[in-house]
Structure 1
């Protein structure tokens, strides 16, 4: 049965193949006449039908039997059989088949070509190389972005530069100082000027007569910014030229304003002015808020009841803090800055970082002629009713008929701004707020190889400078052992005549108490005892002003050997006999570190700086020094158990007594 079915299948297949062969043999060939028939038949086929046909072809990969060209030809030629299916082709192959066929009409060919161009599959994109990551710019290039060009072109002065002060009447020795000032310096024992002084004096005291005058409204002097290590003589650098120029004055007016961050600095700078200005007849005043506001008003101006818009100052030089300055500028009648010749901002980085009621903008406005005191808003500049001919820049308030002049240039303020700091800011925004006039920068700092020209850019970008005579140490210890390490420094390393800095007033008081208990236990348990106990005192903002002043004077007189304080006096205070600075608590940033250690090794003297670092703070402290390129200059000192063995028992006794005191207080 199976064999018979297979045979029938074979015969059926043979019959099918035979009929297929006959159909191919008898298939009519297309002639020119037939083409006309096909064209007539296709006449009713619209262009839209052909486009649909092509769309179907491209989307499905095969032609529709009713709309394809082959199907139409079959029906036109009288064929009755259904057109056979074409093999499935991709669109590009099908277009080639259709274009090769002679049966496609020319109009249809053009449509096929256009359609194939528009709908052709996209070819592979050309390969491109992977983007390369550009090299990161150097730190110096990044730091230069937005920096004042004058700062980049700063004069680099080596710290060892100095000039002797001659005693001859006719030879100033390059100091540009008059004979009277040189004699006064010699009387005070100052026989040599340091680098910052020898550089700044020729700039502020040129030989040209116009720049030595009190006012030069048509050619005002350039401003100056000075960055120098602590203890390098910045105060003397601006005190001397101010005294030299203001000695020419005939009428007392406020011509020099010195702004400082703390009251202690104000007292110190006033002492310097009084010592060097003796015999010049200049009157010096201070405003710090230590006295009542009415008392300070009576010391600064003559008449508060009468409105004198030109001012009636009792002082030539005013040394003040910014907050009290604003109080007098807004609340003291006849207090005027229109005659100002010098504006000195000492410790500029700290003062610029704090607003103090926006003191800088108010001070700068008060020195400009366009904002004359007494002028109402909307008053024309040439009709200001008040003027003072002593300050020529403010004569712009006079009408041209009052004072005939051939000058068409508007006079400008002759106020010269001088900025001083050991860590002078590089912030372009803060520098722009100062409105500096063609500033000149001076940086006192040693170069890496002693050649200043080839490393000017590197030196400018360094943030901090230290005195060359300073030796720095670092001791890493556990937090519980830090007081013991401090006692080790005092007794075993003879750290006396020292300033000790803590993080707060409370820490200052606690450390002094613990030291007193330790010293008492030491003298009691040691058979030999102490021949002379070490006097240690606390100096913090918790103490009243009179007590702070008394403690500071005793420390200067060396009646106190160790002074423990907060950062209250870490800036500017000059105490010549300080041989050691101990940072009992690590400073929070590099600026505080610089100003702390700057209390020693001043004016070319030797000094040591010690920093007690807790183990959990060591990484932060080292990274801070490394960023400032200063880690290699700080030596690590290791303390073994044997070094503190004799002190340990006394320390435990003192610690127990301190705990009892705080337990009773609690």
Structure 2
């Protein structure tokens, strides 16, 4: 998590507790980003917010800081100065401040947990939110449970049963544990819905409404919703389940960040691989993401780049969760320098210091272009996005340029950019589920039926 110097508003001028400010200071946060500057003063006065902001603009810190302060105001114990440095570790190895008495001005209260729920559309985003929450709550007496599908079922179940303050997770796994009565939603004091537009895209909206209907009424909790776009369906969700939310739109002159240098090449299909490797040879990026449109293309690209000396890994929707996390950790720690990903990874990945994003295949959805290139130039850094306008996906470029409101400069393909490459052997294709092809009938397919006409009705 890095600091973004975008406004003159300092965090220490906001109504935040000393313990929160201490965590912010140690994390290197001094000035607010635009979404923090607009939303935090309202949230700290218990006003609900529906905010529009792109990823990488500080919205995670926005809702976490407001959430923590709201729970503190509700009577949560806060470490005193003498015991701030005494900490203990829980079973998961997370560090929490030592349990101490509440403020003298606040009468002790019996905990009835969980008191807050943060919902995210993807495992990766939930994991990143949890990581940031631990950083920003370092000097607070708060316990978290991170829950998501695909792995660690019993471990997550036991963690929730240990009486945590805040649950951070994906809707499906949260509902699973709720229906088992592992926890109650009766005492929720604050809710967060992050990347609400993505919730709709992934079909989670019924799950979201299921959970919201089982919480205290909207006027009895602080509600926060964040989305890349405040579309009609997102604002409808906000007005239905929030308490007169204030809509905050962080508009910029451009849909994409000015810190991203965008460019494009127009290769033939046969030139794409030599051009990609030629650019990689010339730029030598330390950490880059290459986006493709299909799993098969990701596998072929993974094989080719590895054969040509690059450490890569392919990330697609059907990669098991444990392997997925291992690949992301290897990428973050530079054991892998190039991550090849389909659009399932375009959102929710919060990886620092990605210098280049390559659209090896142009996305077929214009919003996916923005989400893809937004993986670079995060938190005030600069980055570069290079797109291939190939024969197969060239039709997407006019729509992309119209959406982002600018022309993407096209560069010439020179001979020195077309590398000589090693073509690896093709991967063996997995057997078809209906058995060995050799055992199938060799009879020819039946002829097509004649067209339907008045004389030949079907």
Partner of residue 543 from structure 1, selected from 319, 326, 331: 319
Equivalent residue number for residue 416 of structure 2:
643
Equivalent residue number for residue 374 of structure 2:
598
Distance (whole Å) between structure 2 residues aligned to residue 164 and residue 358 of structure 1: 39
Residues 188-587 of structure 1 mapped to structure 2, 5 A cutoff: 188-206=27-45, 211=46, 222-247=47-72, 248-249=75-76, 250=109, 251-291=111-151, 293-301=153-161, 314-332=163-181, 335-356=183-204, 358-368=206-216, 413-427=219-233, 430-431=236-237, 434-447=240-253, 465-519=255-309, 534-587=310-363
Report whether the alignment pairs 1:631 with 2:406: yes
Given that 2:122 and 2:348 are in contact with CA atoms closer than 8 Å, whether structure 1 keeps it comes out as no
Secondary structure of the corresponding residue to residue 617 of structure 1:
coil
Report whether the alignment pairs 1:658 with 2:425: yes
Distance (whole Å) between structure 1 residues aligned to residue 120 and residue 367 of structure 2: 17
Structure 1 gap segments, 5+ residues each: 1-158, 166-171, 212-221, 303-313, 370-411, 448-463, 520-533
Secondary structure of the corresponding residue to residue 409 of structure 2:
strand
Distance (whole Å) between structure 2 residues aligned to residue 644 and residue 610 of structure 1: 14
Given that 1:422 and 1:465 are in contact with CA atoms closer than 8 Å, whether structure 2 keeps it comes out as no
Secondary structure of the corresponding residue to residue 343 of structure 1:
strand
User: Taking structure 1 as reference, are residues 518 and 435 closer, same or farther at Cα in structure 2, changes over 3 Å only?
Assistant: same
Distance (whole Å) between structure 2 residues aligned to residue 415 and residue 288 of structure 1: 24
TM-score (norm 1): 0.55
Secondary structure of the corresponding residue to residue 273 of structure 1:
helix
Given that 1:297 and 1:332 are in contact with CA atoms closer than 8 Å, whether structure 2 keeps it comes out as no
Given that 2:362 and 2:394 are in contact with CA atoms closer than 8 Å, whether structure 1 keeps it comes out as no
Distance (whole Å) between structure 1 residues aligned to residue 128 and residue 243 of structure 2: 29
Structure 2 gap segments, 5+ residues each: 77-108, 432-436, 438-458
Distance (whole Å) between structure 2 residues aligned to residue 557 and residue 344 of structure 1: 30
Given that 1:517 and 1:658 are in contact with CA atoms closer than 8 Å, whether structure 2 keeps it comes out as no
Larger Rg: 1
Deviation at 1:237? 0.7
Equivalent residue number for residue 103 of structure 1:
none
Deviation at 1:292? 5.5
Deviation at 1:431? 3.7
Distance (whole Å) between structure 1 residues aligned to residue 397 and residue 148 of structure 2: 35
Distance (whole Å) between structure 2 residues aligned to residue 545 and residue 190 of structure 1: 32
Higher helix share: 1
Q: Which deviates more from structure 2 when the two are superposed, residues 357-366 or residues 591-600?
A: 357-366
Deviation at 1:515? 1.4
Deviation at 1:623? 2.6
Distance (whole Å) between structure 1 residues aligned to residue 238 and residue 70 of structure 2: 28
Select the structure with the greater relative contact order (CA < 8 A; seq sep ≥ 6): 2
Deviation at 1:299? 2.2
Distance (whole Å) between structure 2 residues aligned to residue 581 and residue 629 of structure 1: 17
The number of aligned residues is 394
Deviation at 1:499? 0.8
Deviation at 1:424? 3.4
Deviation at 1:629? 4.6
Given that 2:23 and 2:139 are in contact with CA atoms closer than 8 Å, whether structure 1 keeps it comes out as no
Distance (whole Å) between structure 2 residues aligned to residue 547 and residue 617 of structure 1: 30
Distance (whole Å) between structure 2 residues aligned to residue 590 and residue 517 of structure 1: 32
Deviation at 1:187? 1.3
User: Taking structure 1 as reference, are residues 434 and 598 closer, same or farther at Cα in structure 2, changes over 3 Å only?
Assistant: farther
Secondary structure of the corresponding residue to residue 55 of structure 2:
coil
Distance (whole Å) between structure 2 residues aligned to residue 368 and residue 185 of structure 1: 31
TM-score (norm 2): 0.79
